[in-house]
């Protein structure tokens, strides 16, 4: 397994459940990838994924399985509209939709799976080469090599083709597709602004805002259950080369929208995903999500049916979401277990001398 994000970990846990041995090779010193919960004195706040939505049955099942605490996204109160001249109160909140939140951060999903996998997860292990030799692959990484009959690529496809050498090379059509597949949320900075109290709620505000002037274009309440700990978060979509919004600019914007109470946060944390080398490839990616995500070619393993895709971008269902990563993991594991079952049936036939 290349990658210990939620897709890789879910696939590994499922393989182990089927009695198959598996190693997760993760380049960072933590699991979770785009699930990234920042720990501050007040609590844990998500700098990557935040929500899951009604109908995302795989996420709901994982929450249940791991007994992860959740609460509903705060939506009550009025939203704000922000343009030159300041914030304008809207009637009601057309910005937030019904969704669930992970009370101790989305990373709890990845950490829960990694705890179950124990020594099957190798952190600080960056894969740089995958070579096919006979029926096995030799995977070279920063700490040595490992051999396996199947490889799951649980990292964004464009990152895989730009940073990992494949021998023999990937089929041309697969390589072109992967190279053109953008990383979901790879051009966004996310900011979390922690406060001593959810002051906006006391003013009958939801904490949600849309801004035409930024730097944050969309804002939401990120507080815990009942508003504790208190926080807001926002997204800044960024063009290549555009500077990361500064803490000062973000706080000034919040004062412009919500008034002077916003001037004294306990903490401002900004994560610019464009610069995360474990998520976004070094060279630009030119394709569009609608052309590439969940593409039929991603549904088929390559290299004699033994290299499989399992990142969210490759999913048929909810590509981009945590749900998509879980769906992609499910598909990869299904392909491997079917092959494992048919090869053990063939072995059993061979031992019985039944070679019809
Ligand atoms: C700002 C932001 C907000 C989001 N909001 C939401 C949300 O609210 N709800 C939602 O459902 N989804 C959201 N998402 C998307 C969600 O986070 C992803 O769909 C999901 O986490 C992807 O999981 P993955 O396993 O496919 O990939 P990743 O999480 O990217 O995992 C890939 C892993 O591979 C590792 N890796 C990379 N290269 C190598 C290598 N060479 N060798 C070994 N390991 C390697 C990485 O370190 C990483 O751990 C958001 C994402 C971002 C960035």
Domain annotation for the chain: domains and CATH numbers:
1-36+106-184+276-356 (3.50.50.60), 39-55+70-105+187-275 (3.90.660.10)
* Ligand 1 center–CA 314 separation, angstroms: 12
> Can you state the angle between helices 322-352 and 6-17, rounded to 10 degrees?
30
What is this structure's pTM? Answer: 0.96
pLDDT of residue 355: 39
Report the SS3 class of residue 40: strand
* Ligand 1 center–CA 155 separation, angstroms: 7
Report the SS3 class of residue 37: strand
Q: Which atom of ligand 1 is nearest to the CA of 47?
A: 1
pLDDT of residue 343: 79
User: Element (H or E) spanning 152, and its range?
Assistant: strand 151-153
Q: Tokens representing 146?
A: 């490992």
Q: Is the CB of 4 under 6 A from ligand 1?
A: yes
φ, ψ of residue 35 in degrees (nearest 5): -95, 110
Q: Residue 32 and residue 188: Cα distance in Å, rounded?
A: 18
Q: Is the CB of 321 under 6 A from ligand 1?
A: yes
pLDDT of residue 342: 82
* Ligand 1 center–CA 348 separation, angstroms: 40
Q: Is the CB of 26 under 6 A from ligand 1?
A: yes
Q: Residue 125 and residue 141: Cα distance in Å, rounded?
A: 6
pLDDT of residue 353: 53
Per-residue pLDDT of the chain (356 residues; tens, 9 = 90+): 999 999 999 999 999 999 999 999 999 999 999 999 999 999 999 999 999 999 999 999 999 999 999 999 999 999 999 999 999 999 999 999 999 999 999 999 999 999 999 999 999 999 999 999 988 999 999 999 999 999 999 999 999 999 999 999 999 999 999 999 999 999 999 999 999 999 999 999 999 999 999 999 999 999 999 999 999 999 999 999 999 999 999 999 999 999 999 999 999 999 999 999 999 999 999 899 999 999 999 999 999 999 999 999 999 999 999 999 999 999 999 999 998 888 777 666 655 554 33
For atom 38 of ligand 1, the residue with the nearest CA is 278
Q: Is the CB of 2 under 6 A from ligand 1?
A: yes
Q: Residue 341 and residue 161: Cα distance in Å, rounded?
A: 30
pLDDT of residue 345: 72
Residues 6+ apart with CB under 8 A from 294: 313, 314, 315, 316, 317, 319, 324
User: Element (H or E) spanning 71, and its range?
Assistant: strand 70-72
For atom 20 of ligand 1, the residue with the nearest CA is 322
Rounded-to-5 percentages of helix, strand, coil across the chain = 35, 25, 40
Q: Are 71 and 100 in contact (CB under 8 A)?
A: yes
Q: Ligand 1: which of 5, 30, 220, 244 to mutate, judged by most atoms within 8 Å of the beta carbon?
A: 5
Helix/strand/coil (H, E, C) string of 83-149?
A: ECCEEEECCCCCCCCCCEEECCCCHHHHHHHHHHHHHHEECCCCEEEEEEECCEEEEEECCEEEEEC
Task: Of 42, 48, 57, 54, give the one whose Cα is nearest residue 100.
Answer: 54
Kindly calculate the radius of gyration of the chain based on its CA atoms and give it in whole angstroms.
22
Task: Of 280, 188, 187, give the one whose Cα is nearest residue 234.
Answer: 188
Map tokens 């380049």 to a residue.
27
pLDDT of residue 340: 85
């Amino acid at each position: 397994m290349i990658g210990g994000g939620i897709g890789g970990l879910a696939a590994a846990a499922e393989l182990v459940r089927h009695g198959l041995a598996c190693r997760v090779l993760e380049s960072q010193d933590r699991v979770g990838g785009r699930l990234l919960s920042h720990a501050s004195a007040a609590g844990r706040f998500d700098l990557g994924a935040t929500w899951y939505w009604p109908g995302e049955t795989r996420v709901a099942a994982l929450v249940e399985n791991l007994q992860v605490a959740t609460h509903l996204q705060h939506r009550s109160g009025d939203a704000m509209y922000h343009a030159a001249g300041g914030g304008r109160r809207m009637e009601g909140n057309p910005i937030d939709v019904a969704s669930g939140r992970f009370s101790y951060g989305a990373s709890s999903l990845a950490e829960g799976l990694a705890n179950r996998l124990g020594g099957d997860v190798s952190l600080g292990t960056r894969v740089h080469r995958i070579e096919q030799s006979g029926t096995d692959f030799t995977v070279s990484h920063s700490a040595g090599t490992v051999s396996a009959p199947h490889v799951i690529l649980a990292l964004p496809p464009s990152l895989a083709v730009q940073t990992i050498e494949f021998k023999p090379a990937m089929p041309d059509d697969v390589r072109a597709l992967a190279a053109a597949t953008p990383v979901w949320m790879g051009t966004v900075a996310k900011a979390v602004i922690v406060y001593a109290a959810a002051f906006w709620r006391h003013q009958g505000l939801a904490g949600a805002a849309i801004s035409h002037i930024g730097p944050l274009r969309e804002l939401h309440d990120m507080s815990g259950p009942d508003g504790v700990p208190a926080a807001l978060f926002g997204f800044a979509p960024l063009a290549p080369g555009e500077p990361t919004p500064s803490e000062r600019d973000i706080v000034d914007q919040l004062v412009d929208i919500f008034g002077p109470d916003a001037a004294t946060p306990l903490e401002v944390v900004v994560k610019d995903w464009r610069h995360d080398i474990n998520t976004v490839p070094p060279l630009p990616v030119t394709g569009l999500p609608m052309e590439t995500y969940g593409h039929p070619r991603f549904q088929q393993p390559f290299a004699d049916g033994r290299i499989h895709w399992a990142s969210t971008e490759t999913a048929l269902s909810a590509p981009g979401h945590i749900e998509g990563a879980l769906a992609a993991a499910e598909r990869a594991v299904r392909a491997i277990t079917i092959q494992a079952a048919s090869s053990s049936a063939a072995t059993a036939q061979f031992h019985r001398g039944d070679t019809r």
